[in-house]
A and B are shown apart, each in its own frame.
Chain A
Amino acid sequence: MRNIKADLIIDAVSKLFKEANYSLGDDVLAALKKARHEEESPAGREALDAIIENASIAADEKIPLCQDCGTAVVFLEIGQQVHIEGGDLYTAINEGVRRAYEEGYLRKSMVDHPFTDRKNTGDNTPAVIHADIVPGDKLKITVLPKGGGAENMAKLGMLLPASGKKGVIDFVVNAANEAWSNPCPPVIVGVGIGGTAEKAMAMAKHALVRKVGQKSPDKENAGLEKEILQKVNNLGIGPMGYGGRITALAVHVESFPAHITALPVAVNLQCHSARHREVVI
């Protein structure tokens, strides 16, 4: 058994959300610069120049990359030998979110009841938390402030198994095509295939915290990523939808076994402001 103090978790979550909102990861910046190099469309290149310059201003001046500082999505990998002391885990995470958004001048975008009053909760809580129990005595926290424009373009398809690989590819490419300029391309396309409806969507979201362009360790998934990326970039949507070659920076696929009757496919798009941070305690 290893004890981890709740206060430590509060501090970690607060720090991660501030950092994620102010500065892009090196992998994201490198992918954007590569896109700028490869983009043929003048309007697309100008949009990428603005995006790259924006990242530098935000990091230097410690202001949010985007005014939409997102829903506070948190992935936890909790070692089964970990014991949290001095408070409960979810309360600590929400306290970390509260502090980050208040102290960090981040925009609070959460409303309490989704289809009635829609009153702002005032501190960007509650976080959306996905927790996994894993072997060991460590706690891994990954934060993903997820902007609304891209999240609203998510799609779930319960395909017929006979649709096969082609059905999966068509569904994902069509989702990117329909999203068009709305999710702030160039996007990262998160894809979850298999499991159940909610498992597929959780995988599609989790796929977004992988380093940009890192291949899936599964050979079939890696092949699919390459094929879908080509097709999405052939759509011509381009940076910010101004037309161009680079509509997506990467496609990340996760998969899971499925029921004999089912082929769930979920798509979760990440805008170019791919903000996430992680820490292992």
Chain B
Amino acid sequence: MAKKIKLPLTEEIIKSFKSGDNLLLSGVLYVARDAAHRRMTESLDKGESLPFDIKGQTLYYMGPSPAPPGRVIGSAGPTTSARMDAYAPRLLAAGLKGMIGKGVRSLEVREALKRYKAVYLAAVGGAGALISKTIIKSEVVAYPDLGPEAVLQLEVKDFPATVINDIYGGDLYVEGKKKYKIT
């Protein structure tokens, strides 16, 4: 049974998450991938502020296909999170509370999740058509010059996600594999 969660994530909500939980998220998500991450961390290194307040927010690693006429967005599934690993601890230190993508995170990111009390969620990769139906609004809010890699603000309703890494060190990828492995 999926838990209905209102975004942004609060400390209380984050504490309640356990790896393996199914969620339906509603509210605001920010979309950023490689190029936007590079730029955001460069800004932080220079002591500049980010183009949107990242405190308490959730980032979705995604690069949509173009929206056909009459649609909010095209296909909109998660991309591989590992490409953002180098930048994630920096953003978590700046107050980021949630990340949504697919695939395993580095040890550094997993440690940072525990330290900063944040969570890593997965959406089903390759289910971009299905996920697009939960996105009710999409607009560019930063770095428009990056084109398809610009930062988007999405409004989602019942966006399906699964908790991979909780704040207690739980990891669905590790636990799931261990449970079903046949030696």
Give chain A's interface residues, CB within 8 Å of chain B: 40-41, 43-44, 46-47, 50-51, 53-54, 57-58, 61-69, 105-108, 120, 147-149, 152, 180-182, 184, 234-238, 240-245, 271-273
Contact = CB atoms under 8 A, between A and B. Distances in A.
A59 to B, nearest CB: 9
B104 A65 contact: no
A234 B182 contact: yes
Interface string B122-148: 101111111111000000000000011
A243 B176 contact: yes
A238 B124 contact: no
A236 B180 contact: yes
Given A43-B20, A236-B181, 13 more contacts: A41-B176, A46-B22, A58-B75, A63-B74, A63-B132, A67-B79, A68-B77, A105-B66, A149-B80, A180-B173, A234-B183, A241-B122, A241-B177
B155 to A, nearest CB: 18
**Most chain B beta carbons < 10 A, residue from A40, A68, A69:** A68
B36 interface: no
Interface stretch (B7-15, B41-49, B57-65, B87-95): B57-65
Chain A facing B: main interface SS: loop
The 8 A-B pairs at the shortest CB distance, nearest first, are namely A243-B176, A236-B181, A236-B180, A58-B129, A107-B65, A54-B130, A64-B75, A234-B182
Contact of B176 (A54, A108, A241): A241
Nearest to B78: A67
A17 to B, nearest CB: 13
B148 to A, nearest CB: 7
B64 A184 contact: no
B37 to A, nearest CB: 15
A195 to B, nearest CB: 30
B129 A68 contact: no
Contacts of B68: 62-63, 105
Contacts of A152: 80
Contacts of B181: 234-236
B56 interface: no
B20 to A, nearest CB: 6
B162 interface: yes
B102 interface: yes
Given A63-B129, A107-B64, A181 B173 contact: yes
B109 to A, nearest CB: 14
Contacts of B64: 67, 107
A50 B63 contact: no
Contacts of A181: 102-104, 122, 173
Contact of B71 (A63, A107, A243, A245): A63
Interface in B144-174: 147-148, 160, 162, 172-173
A166 B60 CA distance: 42
Contact of B65 (A41, A54, A105, A238): A105
**Most chain B beta carbons < 10 A, residue from A43, A62, A65, A241:** A241
Contact of A51 (B65, B82, B126): B126
Contacts of B74: 63-64, 67, 105, 107
Contact of A238 (B20, B67, B82, B177): B177
B76 A242 contact: no
A236 B178 contact: yes
A149 B133 contact: no
A233 B155 CA distance: 38
Contacts of B79: 67-68, 149
Given A43-B176, A105-B67, A120-B147, A54 B126 contact: yes
Contacts of A68: 63, 77, 79
A152 B75 CA distance: 21
Contacts of A184: 102, 125-126
Given A242-B172, A243-B172, A67 B124 contact: no
B175 interface: yes
B82 to A, nearest CB: 7
Given A57-B133, A63-B74, A149-B102, A243 B65 contact: no
Contacts of B80: 148-149, 152, 182
B78 to A, nearest CB: 9
B171 to A, nearest CB: 11
